[in-house]
Amino acid sequence: MAGRILVYLLFSLLSFTDMSAQSFKAEQQKAPRVKAAYAEKWEGLKAEMQKKGMDANGFELFIRVFKQEKLVEVWLKPQNEKEYRLFKTYPICYYSGDLGPKRKQGDGQVPEGFYSIAVFNPYSSYHLSLGVSYPNASDKIIGKSNLGGDIMIHGNCLSIGCIPITDVFIKELYVLAVEAKNAGQASIPVHIFPIRMDAAGMGFLNSTYESNATLQAFWKNLQTGYAHFEEKKKLPKVSVDKEGVYVFSEK
């Protein structure tokens, strides 16, 4: 575990350090798995983008996760557009825990809330992995003292608290994330929800967890951010108040 964390820290540093000598993409492609993923997936991804009228030469990436439906949505915003468009949807092949946020280490929960990609790990034990910025400011206020960490979107189909989408699909998502960062996207948002938070989804949560007022309040807060994107196809600016409640505003 210590070695794995060291690798995460190393590539987190590489990911968010100025690389004046060469691009982030070139640095990542030094890793054999990333180079192979590009050779296998990039031309096909570009062809899919072009078919959907998207410019592959520079885009921003947004990742949205639904636990109940076991889905990872990939949204792209080409540089000449103002709104995100749904590009691909990947199945989550397994997740641990129940609906509800992660509040402490060892609870087996997949987090829920508003995060970003914090780590690119091309030497993951699960082929390739993208680290989610858990715990965020809200988690640190509301959660237990020992919050845990190392929440990844990764390959394979094994997980405790992470989001595995198989090796086939992590190759695509990893390449898209590298391309977005290489084109200048400083922060790649990752929004993780218990369920699609439309009327049907909120009805399910309200009836199934009727007696849990804490969860109901938390999910109502998440639903505000969900609804903002659903209506506008633009990401809200997300901040956190002193109680750990998410606050949303226009960017």
Three-class SS state of 91: strand
Q: Give residues with Cβ within 8 angstroms of 147, minimum separation 6.
A: 102, 103, 104, 105, 134, 135, 139, 140
- Measuring CA to CA, which residue among 70, 108, 68 is closest to residue 205? 68
Query: 41 CB contacts (<8 Å, ≥6 apart)?
Result: 171, 172, 175
Helix or strand holding residue 236 (H, E): none
170 closest CA partner among 128, 231, 208: 128
Q: Let me know if 228 is a catalytic residue.
A: no
Q: How far apart are CA 196 and CA 74, in angstroms?
A: 15
- Catalytic residue (one of 127, 154, 191, 228): 154
Q: Which of 93, 127, 157, 162 is catalytic?
A: 162
154 catalytic? Reply is: yes
Q: Which two tokens stand for residue 89?
A: 């949807």
Tell which residue, 28, 6, 25, has the closest CA to residue 122. Answer: 28
166 close to 37: Cβ distance less than 8 angstroms: no
State the catalytic residues: 154, 162
